[in-house]
Structure 1
Amino acid sequence: MKGKMVFPLMVAGSLMLAACGDDGTDKEPEVEADATQTDDGTAATDETPTEDAAVGGSEDPDEPVSSDAADVTGQEEMQQKMDEINYTEFELEVEYADGKEYEAEIEKKSDNTVKAEIEDSLNGVKKKGLDAFNDLFPLVEQMDITTGTDKAEAIRQVLSTFSLPDDYTKFELELRFKDDGKEYEIEDRK
């Protein structure tokens, strides 16, 4: 998917550069305001991204694209993957006696955007967006919870899939099913 976005962005960047092309006069190239001149007459810039990098105009495929383009690519990827599972919403909160907790959420909203977030104080992990989605999606995809799944089985399945300890003090799970929009909620306290 990432490769599909890079080529059009490179073409667009090339066209913008061509539009700003040479008018035939021989004058010194202007140096950007944040650039400095080196001893050999070439421009040395600081690490501030230029317009070309922001629109993906770099020819280096490993160079990061702007966050806006990455956000769009990430949203498209997450939306496609969400269509593969039975849930439009998965929200999990597990609390433990020592004040630690594990929270995870994936939600495909009504405007088709996808929200993903992990707050895991057991392992010191906090992620949002595509990073969180990439960690959570394979786990949620493994789940086989339906509206008919009993509470004990759902809890066992979640704890096993997410490799969470079973000595929790509070367990909450909310699912919304893609097919009929029904919600499945369970709460358990020990």
Structure 2
Amino acid sequence: MKQILFNSLSVFCIALLSACGGQTNETDNTDQKNVTLNDNGETTNTNNLNPLHNTHDQYKMKSQMEKLDFSEIDLEVTYEEQKEYEAEINYDNSGFIGGEVDDDINNEHLRGKAAFDSIYQKAKNLTISKDTNKRDVIDQVLKSFDLPADYIKFDLEIIFNDGTSLEYVD
């Protein structure tokens, strides 16, 4: 009985190892291009699809965010003719920081570090605190992000470093 169990377990382990052993040491170069054009002719950043490969970038982005008064920002501004500007810096479930920009006004769509860099350059000029009134927040954001003031809807959510979350909707 022990011999049959041992042989069955050995065959199972060999089958498991051979199934997992089909990996090669070849590198997938799909991450090498930073920007591509999608079907609509819009630029899309495809860099940093897997943040695990960019630990130096993660460290740099997190240290930059520590200089701000907030840890996450989510901005959505809607204009006529179905034009929107959306920008977001946030942390995913595994603690990696990421960015995303969908700018219909300037036809720019960025992901990952390129989006983070674009948003950070604008967000570092903001002097928003929990006590800043809504009109000042909106004016600061529109100016810093170089957005037109003739929006239909403005929605900004900020999570401050102390964990307080505020939303400004107009």
TM-score normalised to structure 2 length:
0.67
Aligned pairs for 1:125-136 (under 5 A) are: 125-136=108-119
CA contact (8 A) 2:90 2:98 kept: yes
Identity %: 34
Matched, 1:182 2:159: no
Give distance in 1, aligned partners of 2:78 and 2:57. 30
CA contact (8 A) 2:51 2:58 kept: no
CA contact (8 A) 1:117 1:129 kept: yes
Matched, 1:113 2:96: yes
Matched, 1:149 2:136: no
Aligned with 2:147: secondary structure? coil
Give distance in 1, aligned partners of 2:95 and 2:110. 21
CA contact (8 A) 1:88 1:176 kept: yes
Alpha-carbon deviations, 1:153-176, whole Å to 9, x = none?
Answer: 000000000010000000000000
Deviation at 1:113, TM superposition (A): 1.1
The alignment covers a number of residue pairs equal to: 125
Give distance in 1, aligned partners of 2:132 and 2:52. 40
Deviation at 1:72, TM superposition (A): 2.4
CA contact (8 A) 1:117 1:132 kept: yes
Q: Which has the larger radius of gyration?
A: 1
Aligned pairs for 1:28-47 (under 5 A) are: none
Matched, 1:97 2:77: no
1:168 corresponds in structure 2 to: 151
Deviation at 1:186, TM superposition (A): 0.9
- More RCO (CA 8 Å, sep 6+): 2
CA contact (8 A) 1:79 1:112 kept: no
Aligned with 1:142: secondary structure? coil
Structure 1 residues without counterparts, runs of 5 or longer: 1-49, 54-66
Alpha-carbon deviations, 1:74-111, whole Å to 9, x = none?
Answer: 22221221122111110000000111000000113564
Q: Which amino acid aligns with 1:86?
A: D
Structure 2 residues without counterparts, runs of 5 or longer: 1-25, 30-49
TM-score normalised to structure 1 length:
0.60
Give distance in 1, aligned partners of 2:95 and 2:158. 17
CA contact (8 A) 2:73 2:158 kept: yes
Deviation at 1:73, TM superposition (A): 2.5
Give distance in 1, aligned partners of 2:158 and 2:52. 30
Alpha-carbon deviations, 1:44-94, whole Å to 9, x = none?
Answer: xxxxxx65x9xxxxxxxxxxxxx7775222222212211221111100000
- RMSD across aligned C-alpha pairs, in angstroms? 2.1
